[in-house]
Amino acid sequence: MLPASSTPIVFRVLFCALLATSVGQSVMLTTLPSMGREAELTEFHIATIMSSSAFIFALGTNVWSKVAKRAGFKRILMVGLTGYSLGTFAFASAWMAGFSGFISGTNLFLALLLSRSLQSTIMSATPPSAVGYAVAISSAQGRVSAISKVTSASNVGQIIGPAYAGLLVGFGLLAPLYSIVLLTLLALLLVYVKLPVLAPVSQQNNQTSANSS
């Protein structure tokens, strides 16, 4: 358990980490249709990219939640944020290649599908590790409150995302996506500097068993 004085800071850091990714997801959903029309992709292409990434994300959160318990919540949270940053950069760069005419049609669709799927595979580590961290530092009585403090970032991100995208899209369709790379990198730096390292759950259980014996 962390000292009581550091707990509020930890929750703010976890909130910021999920907020950055939630804003990124909202920006992605807001700008994808316009980018698809600009690159002359069909609605089926865009829908496939969105649905496949959502499916991978849903599977990934379940897998990463188990990994985080063994490897440590901070470490896996940093993996998720790093994957989100690199994946967003690759996804935006694929769009740029499409807009410039370097690739088009099926090749562009496959490049976007692959980059977005890989991004979803890694970025799905972020929510379960952040929530797991919040649960690990909370008492049984305050567990529900702790989870709500962290997960409320998703609702805030859905509100901010469209306005954020509309503000930056004047600088180009890809400006919102590339700015998300900076946001998630800032969140990664914040987690690295401010978030204390917790022992993996497996080690905590072993210590508890040893103390009780």
What pLDDT digit, counting tens, does each position of 162-188 carry? 999 999 988 999 999 999 999 999 999
pLDDT surpassing 50 at residue 208 = no
Of 19, 23, 133, whose CA–CA distance to 88 is shortest?
23
CA distance 151 to 145: 10
Question: What is the pTM (predicted TM-score) of this model?
Answer: 0.87
Of 121, 117, 119, 14, whose CA–CA distance to 67 is shortest?
121
What pLDDT digit, counting tens, does each position of 146-167 carry? 888 888 998 999 999 999 999 9
188 and 78 Cβ atoms separated by less than 8 Å: yes
What pLDDT digit, counting tens, does each position of 85-143 carry? 999 999 999 999 999 989 989 999 999 999 999 999 999 999 999 999 999 888 778 88
Q: Rounded to 5, what percent of the chain is helix, strand, coil?
A: 85, 0, 15
